[in-house]
């Protein structure tokens, strides 16, 4: 009995400590102990989950995620190469698990993503014939969106269809179906999953030229009488260079088309690289100079990051009537994709929690806005 009490007390102490270490006050004056609680009246706060996290194999992540976040996006496992590896074969195992995870913890699930030129299965890349490609496209959306109809909150229906100058990206979809493939994807998704919110998602679509292309794309879908509910701005930004003005102009421009706006893959990268954007096919060779903080990062940079995140969240709060969700692309720094991309094997620090799941200065600066 004594042992049992000690255990309970220890667990309670850890929770109490976490609550104390991360606390701030919410709008009602009560202590808010989490991001989702602090921003409850403003927008959802999400994170991307990897397989370990979906399967709750990572004990610290399993404790932190439901405490801090009320929205989740699978980082990879709903992408076509995993969920639809062969023409007539679907692999729903992990996707079903994230849906069950969301239901269990009362967390909204955003499906990511139905139509994307990257992480496509080999068989789809090899389809030569136009009609067969259209059949693949239709079957994919009907089957995947149909399965989760009523079970997930939203879909990134089309991901990254645009070039930086706002023109349509050259892809197998454009090649086989022409630029109407975007409208067609939304048309099929709206039928397969009538009660799910449907979004177009991209990186750099806050930049003026790409934004113009994105607005034109959305207008085309709308002009066809097809439902599109929102635009996701991925939000892979860089330390000291967060484009606040472009972001604000984009929030206003997308909202003016009657769309919801969400920040879908937020991170603030701390390491150097020689290009901007988040094209997963673009890489840079490894070099020790590109990995300067392998043994720890100076506090001054963490403070700069805290300021960057605070400025961003101030902007999001200013437009909380237009923004429905802000999702971070990962739970903690050690799990971020930016440790492996665009340069392999680096030590990056882009998120609000450090490698030991402790809140960073950026966490506190985001929470402090709600005091
Ligand atoms: C990334 C994942 O985080 C990586 O694990 C994977 O290797 C490549 O894709 N834009 C997107 C996301 O829409 O799906 C990408 O995710 C990051 C860029």
**Residue range 135-168, pLDDT digits in tens:** 999 999 999 999 999 999 999 999 999 999 999 9
Three-class secondary structure of residue 359 per DSSP: strand
Return the axis-axis angle of helices 299-318 and 361-368, rounded to nearest 10°: 30
Ligand 1 centroid–CA 318 distance in Å is 29
Ligand 1 centroid–CA 79 distance in Å is 10
Max Cα distance, the chain (Å) = 71
In a domain, 5, yes or no: no
Query: Does the pLDDT at position 220 exceed 80?
Result: yes
Map 24-41 to HEC letters.
EECCCCCEECCHHHHCCC
Phi/psi of residue 231, each to 5°? -120, 130
Give the pLDDT confidence score for residue 23 in this predicted structure.
52
- Annotated active-site residue 265? The verdict is yes
Phi/psi of residue 90, each to 5°? -120, 150
Give the pLDDT confidence score for residue 255 in this predicted structure.
98
Query: Does the pLDDT at position 2 exceed 90?
Result: no
Q: Which CATH number do you get for residue 187? A: 3.20.20.80
Band of pLDDT at residue 307, cut at 50, 70 and 90: very high
In a domain, 12, yes or no: no
In a domain, 15, yes or no: no
Provide the phi-psi class of 41: left if phi over 0, else alpha when psi is between -120 and 50, else beta: alpha
Q: Whose CA is nearest to atom 13 of ligand 1?
A: 159
Ordered DSSP codes for 122-141: HHHHH--SHHHHHHHHHHHH
Cβ within 8 Å of residue 68, ≥6 positions away: 34, 35, 36, 45, 47
Give the HSE-up count for residue 278: Cα atoms under 13 Å, Cβ half-sphere: 23
Give the pLDDT confidence score for residue 30 in this predicted structure.
53
Three-class secondary structure of residue 45 per DSSP: strand
DSSP code for 337: G
Give the total number of structural domains in the chain.
Answer: 1
Give the pLDDT confidence score for residue 276 in this predicted structure.
84
List the domain range (segments joined by +) for residue 109.
21-273+283-368
Rg (CA), the chain: 21
76 lines ligand 1 (CB under 6 A): yes
In a domain, 177, yes or no: yes
Best CA proximity match to 291, nearest among 352, 343, 354, 236: 343
pTM of the model: 0.93
Mean of pLDDT values over 341-356: 97
In a domain, 187, yes or no: yes
Best CA proximity match to 153, nearest among 260, 251, 61: 260
Give the pLDDT confidence score for residue 26 in this predicted structure.
44
**Could you tell me the two tokens for 184?**
């067609």
Mean of pLDDT values over 87-99: 98
In a domain, 6, yes or no: no
Report the C-alpha gap between 148 and 158 in whole angstroms: 17
Report the C-alpha gap between 227 and 99 in whole angstroms: 24
From 78, 337, 338, the mutation candidate for ligand 1 (largest count of ligand atoms within 8 A of CB) is 337
Band of pLDDT at residue 31, cut at 50, 70 and 90: low
Question: What is the residue whose two structure tokens read 């399965």?
Answer: 147
Ordered DSSP codes for 197-242: EEEEEESSTTSHHHHHHHHHHHHHHHHTT----EEEE--EEETT--
Give the position, in ligand 1's atom list, of the atom nearest the Cα of 279.
18
Mean of pLDDT values over 90-118: 98
In a domain, 195, yes or no: yes
Give the position, in ligand 1's atom list, of the atom nearest the Cα of 278.
18
**Could you tell me the two tokens for 70?**
């009320």
Q: Which residues pair with 326 in a beta bridge?
A: 45, 263
Residues of the chain with pLDDT > 90, as a percent, come to 89
In a domain, 201, yes or no: yes
């Amino acid at each position: 009995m004594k042992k049992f009490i000690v255990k309970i007390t220890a667990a309670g102490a850890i929770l109490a400590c976490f609550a104390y270490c991360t606390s701030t006050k919410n709008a009602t004056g009560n202590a808010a102990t989490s991001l989702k609680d602090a921003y409850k009246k403003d927008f959802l706060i999400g994170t991307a989950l990897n397989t370990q996290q979906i399967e709750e194999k990572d004990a610290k992540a399993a404790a932190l995620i439901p405490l801090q976040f009320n929205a989740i996006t699978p980082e990879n496992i709903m992408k076509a190469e995993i969920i639809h590896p062969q023409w007539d074969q679907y692999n729903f195992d992990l996707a079903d698990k994230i849906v069950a995870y969301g239901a269990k913890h009362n967390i909204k699930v955003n499906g990511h993503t139905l139509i994307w030129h990257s992480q496509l299965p080999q068989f789809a890349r090899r389809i030569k014939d136009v009609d067969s490609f259209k059949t693949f496209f239709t079957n994919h959306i009907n089957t995947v969106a149909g399965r989760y109809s009523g079970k997930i909150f939203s879909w990134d229906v089309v991901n990254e269809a645009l070039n930086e100058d706002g023109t349509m990206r050259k892809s197998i979809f454009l090649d086989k179906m022409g630029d109407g493939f975007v409208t067609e994807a939304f048309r099929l998704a709206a039928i397969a999953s009538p009660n799910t919110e449907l979004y177009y998602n991209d990186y750099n679509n806050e930049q003026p030229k790409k934004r113009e292309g994105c607005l034109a794309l959305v207008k085309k879908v709308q002009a066809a009488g097809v439902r599109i509910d929102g635009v996701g701005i991925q939000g892979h930004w860089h330390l000291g260079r967060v484009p606040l003005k472009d972001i604000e102009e984009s929030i206003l421009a997308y909202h003016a088309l009657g769309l919801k706006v969400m920040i879908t893959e937020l991170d603030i990268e701390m390491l150097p690289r020689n290009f901007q954007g988040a094209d997963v096919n673009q890489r840079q060779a490894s070099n020790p100079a590109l990995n300067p903080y392998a043994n720890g990062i100076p506090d001054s940079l963490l403070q700069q990051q805290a300021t960057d995140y605070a400025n961003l969240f101030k902007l999001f709060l200013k437009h909380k009537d237009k923004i429905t969700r802000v999702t971070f692309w990962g739970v903690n720094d050690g799990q971020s994709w930016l440790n492996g991309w665009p340069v392999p094997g680096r030590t990056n620090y882009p998120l609000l929690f450090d490698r030991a799941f402790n809140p960073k200065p950026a966490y506190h600066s985001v929470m402090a806005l709600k005091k």
